[in-house]
Structure 1
């Protein structure tokens, strides 16, 4: 396996024991919950007189209730206590809970099993902040998206296998209940063994005084997270995904039985295709993002969640089979393939939606507050999932069918996505940039790691086309404030894109001296706040493909702000439809073909005292070479 592969982390102690501890926890949670829900769906009368549809929405709600109550405390504990030690405590707690559940299974006592559901919710609440705060401590920035992808893949594969195992074991008569009790205890013990291999992870705030008033601490956590607008809205986006997933997944048992007319194996098949889709989408994130936190994938994922959620409604309406089928018979039933494809693609786009959000939250929140930020997110997740259970119960009570609920969820997703992306235009801007460099162009990067992960710097680049800023922004691992000719802001689409990206308009001194001076003030302010600022020192697009001389603005910038200057060069854009190439526009549109190749090369940082226009020109010219 290549060292650059995200799967290589599974062979390293800094990642593997944590991964398997998390995987086994997810597996066991879902083995237990699914076994209980299947038993109550297909053998309800021997357990309770309550309606199975009500129980299938109530049990997930009870599981996540502890997230609301204990997440704030769990976040403080994770910031105060070494994470390996905390993981071992959580796994010991899981063993005790599975012993209680075993008694409930063997004595046919429903209230003990319900208590174990709540207990496993407490177990997951305590481990949640550890799960996502651990990764930034042990992974490099360029490994974070891949690591998150592997964890999300492992989580959903664990969920899948746990649900499959739970559904199969509990239906294995006459010893299904005994098999579930023994398997869940065994998995808890194996998870405990894995946790002893987790390496030391120093607590970021060992002197923190824990506030056990969970209401006050929850509100304080959320208020703190809300100070970072992008992080907080990403938390809301993450929680919305769990609302969507909880509302859809909780319907699967009844959907499989009453709408698809399937047995246990059909329910297992639905879980399988959905969870595999999530795993595939999570793993695709590293490749599609270029090993960086690419939030442009989030709108892409959201579009897929709505499109295929809507199609799932129509596919369900078109399904006409009324005969009892198992999984193999379902595959040959007319209309079933479309339903399964929709579920797979909802999962794939869900993975593309959620993994970049996790990575964004981890990289942009306060490093001293990661666990408590994750705890705040878990509180929101829990509230959204409780709301999902409430909405499902309400809609079922109003006479909505399960396919109707799929449609309502998909349409709500579209509304929520438009709202969030309008509040944080960076998501949409990065999405458009991602589309540009993955459809029209193939962009290679050379030494892009020279762009600093933190701190202020000025980027200087040759100016070849109207989309230079989009290409550079898509290749950068962090947001950039571009200095752009004010006339670009008047163009219908590009103007909107650059305004949403907080670009800085500038005009020549002879045209608007006030705007020019204001631009330099805004640049200095952006650098003072630690931002990256990119300028095109030529001051205009090339009309020949050759570079124009660099003007003196860069000298004025570094005189005010003593920050490093990073030369960059775009290669291969000249002659595209976005340039001022005087050749025939129609011919240029097709002569390069689809997916034409271009590159962005990044040079070594230049000290501010050496950053003269002439020296920077030579650096950029050398980086560009002869490939225009």
Structure 2
């Protein structure tokens, strides 16, 4: 599949490898919420059930729905890895049709136990579909398409949740025939989902010899240990689960927030849900544009910052709202102070979309294909646990006398601390964020030939050395982490030295100056390549003082003698003359805006050179040609 197979993420909707899957999951998420919300409204407003008080109905239904995620996620992950994912999708949609036929009977007879059983079964349906939903995409989309594909799925899921809730509430409220109409709607949507599933292309099993462990408890523990084997992936799972914790606090409290704080009628609570869903969807779709069609985890810290800023501002936006009679949506929108509330809600959810989509894409990209679905299953388990803890924590705060805005404030502050903790544990997020900000705000950055930077396997990048931020620019262009060999003296530069140590750059000193450090650098470089990672060296041996490309030294040959791998020549264009280059008497970082603001910078990657063909002169010739390209 060509990296440029489509112009943007929306074009995926015209392709069979994505469109049937997208509409299958869209209809499934919509049906979940149509059914659940209609049932919740029915037992809250229309029926008197002694053992299910109206005040507890939403909580009980939510708990019953989420229980299968805790019990069966581990099993569903195994099934998805062992069998063709398309077969699993069709089986799950067949089950959905059966569940909805039973639910239709429950609605028509107003049988609450039957409907509650269907809530559990639909939770099981979603549990089985969850690992398929995210394990399917990496088998059909390449690295350049993965962020956009995840953004579309995330957007589609939240739009489906919104439409399902709105439809469920509106249909069940139709006098006399609401329950019957909901019954028909649930069955029709399930059948439409099954029809879409029929067009999903084959998706071969990634571990067909896997032996299923049917014990959900031991397998859950095994899945969590499996996920923990890749620490970046595991901490990304925790980051996603925290996002669900964060979102659940807001979604669960919209009704009481709308009524007690904003003095709004039920329509205002629905408006909050609409705004929140639009924000998530917009943020999810923006990821592909901002990441320039790569998996850009630099967006994650940006998302976390926005989530905290606007969650905290939401608290201040609600302070001092005067008491009033309950207002409809029109009256609510007529008041200027309410627009700040809606803006905060829109932006915090938009940043949540920016936060979550790159994390999902990273997990898909970095997880071994043979157990990718089980990693996703582990994520679903953690999500469920975090959402349960979220409900308990928010409920405890409200019971202790905190107001809903104070709960939002505490969540925003907690998000800042949790995000900082995760990013310090996994510096790659912070490094990519710095690279993202530098190349989007300080410079006007373009990349050409990025398809030549390998997305998997060991390789060496060789680049001209123009400035103190060359490594940061290279980080921004690569979809994978890069380990750099750098002159030991650069580690003494304030701030940048700390940054390069955080990036685990490998210091090298001249052999005559420090033989031990020289040999240690090559040993460390060989270890990087032996682990299948990317290594970058600057063969000139130092930052240019006149802007010209210097002679390439022979260190590259010493590395290739130990570990023959492809070598990719890279040229950094237009960095000479910038603040971070040695343009004035060999000194850098003197006049910040000597080249103006947002000056153009370009990175050009050439075709890889096979190790048998490599020589310092050949690489210099290739880089020189790219500089003029």
Could you tell me how far apart the structure 1 residues matched to 2:508 and 2:265 are? 67
8 Å CA contact 1:72–1:214 kept in 2: the answer is yes
User: Does residue 1:623 correspond to 2:620, yes or no?
Assistant: no
1:399 and 1:146 mapped to 2: Cα distance? Answer: 43
Aligned residue number for residue 563 of structure 2: 561
Which one is further off, 394-403 or 124-133?
394-403
- More deviation, 44-53/511-520: 44-53
SS in 2 for 1:546: coil
Which moves more between the two structures, 554-563 or 225-234? 554-563
The 3-state SS of whatever aligns with 2:592 is helix
Aligned-pair CA distance for 1:263: 2.5
User: Larger deviation: 515-524 or 203-212?
Assistant: 203-212
Deviations 1:290-336 (A, max 9, x none): 11111111111111111111111222233324222222221112421
> C-alpha displacement at 1:539, in angstroms?
1.0
Task: Give deviations 1:27-75, integer Å, cap 9, x for gaps.
Answer: 111122223344455x277445866554434432321111010001111
2:592 corresponds in structure 1 to: 589
Aligned twin of 1:8:
11
- Residue 25 of structure 2 is matched in structure 1 by 22
CA gap 1:409/1:151 in 2 versus in 1, 3 angstroms: same
Residues 81-96 of structure 1 mapped to structure 2, 5 A cutoff: 81-96=83-98
Quote the Cα distance in structure 2 between the aligned partners of 1:376 and 1:523: 33
Asked if 1:608 corresponds to 2:605, the answer is no
Question: What does residue 259 of structure 1 align with?
Answer: 261
Is contact 2:578-2:594 (8 Å) kept?
Answer: no
Correspondence for 2:298:
296
Task: Describe the superposition over 1:381-421 as per-residue Cα deviations: whole angstroms up to 9, x where unpaired.
Answer: 11111222222332232222222221121122112111111
- In structure 2, C-alpha distance between the alignment counterparts of 1:585 and 1:613, rounded to whole Å: 27
Give yes or no for contact 1:164–1:271 (8 Å, CA) kept in 2: no
- Contact 2:308-2:413 at 8 Å conserved across structures: yes
CA deviation after TM superposition for structure 1 residue 620, in Å = 0.9
CA contact (8 A) 2:579 2:594 kept: no
Note the alpha carbon deviations across 1:525-545, whole angstroms, 9 max, x for none.
Answer: 111111111011111111111
Residue-by-residue CA offset, 1:328-372 (whole Å, 9 max, x unaligned): 221112421111111111111011011001110001011111111
Separation in structure 2 between the aligned mates of residue 55 and residue 303 of structure 1, nearest angstrom: 35
Q: Structure 1 residues 342 and 44 mapped into 2: Cα distance closer, same or farther (>3 Å)?
A: farther
Contact 2:65 2:122 in 1 (8 A): yes
Match of 1:106 in 2: 108
Q: Please give the alpha-carbon distance, in whole angstroms, between the structure 2 residues aligned to 1:452 and 1:59.
A: 48
Cα 1:425–1:363 shift into 2, 3 Å: same
Does 1:158 pair with 2:157?
Answer: no
Tell me whether 208-217 or 31-40 shows the greater mean CA deviation.
Answer: 31-40
1:229-308 equivalences in 2 (<5 Å): 229-308=231-310
- Which shifted more, 244-253 or 418-427? 244-253
* TM-score of the superposed pair, with normalisation by structure 1: 0.95
User: Offset of 1:2 from its aligned partner?
Assistant: 8.9
Counterpart position of 1:456: 458
- The residue that corresponds to 1:326 in the other structure is 328
Distance 1:479 1:151 in 2: 26
Aligned-residue CA RMSD (Å)? 2.0
Q: Are residue 423 (structure 1) and residue 425 (structure 2) matched?
A: yes
The alpha-carbon deviation at position 589 of structure 1 amounts to 3.1
**1:339 and 1:37, CA in 2 relative to 1: closer, same or farther beyond 3 A?**
farther
Aligned to 2:36, which of 25, 33, 37?
33
Change (3 A) 1:391 1:61: farther
Counterparts of 1:174-189 in structure 2, within 5 Å, are 174-189=176-191
Residue 319 of structure 2 aligns to a residue whose secondary structure is helix
1:404 aligns with 2:406: yes
Q: 1:368 to 1:49 in 2, by over 3 A?
A: closer
| Matched-pair contact (CA < 8 Å) for 1:38–1:253 | no
Q: Secondary structure at the match of 1:484?
A: strand
Q: Label 1:168 to 1:258 Cα distance change in 2 as closer, same or farther (>3 A).
A: farther
- Give the match for residue 228 of structure 1: 230
How many positions carry a matched residue from both structures?
625
Q: Secondary structure at the match of 1:387?
A: helix
Q: Output one character per residue of 1:445-492: Cα deviation in whole Å (capped at 9) or x when no partner.
A: 111111111111111111111000000011011110011111222233
1:178: Cα distance to partner? 3.1
Q: Structure 2 residue aligned with 1:525, among 514, 518, 527? A: 527
User: What is the alpha-carbon distance in structure 2 between the residues aligned to residue 336 and residue 195 of structure 1?
Assistant: 43
Contact 1:65 1:386 in 2 (8 A): no
Would you say the 8 A contact 1:56–1:251 is kept in 2? Answer: no
- Name 1:436's counterpart in structure 2: 438
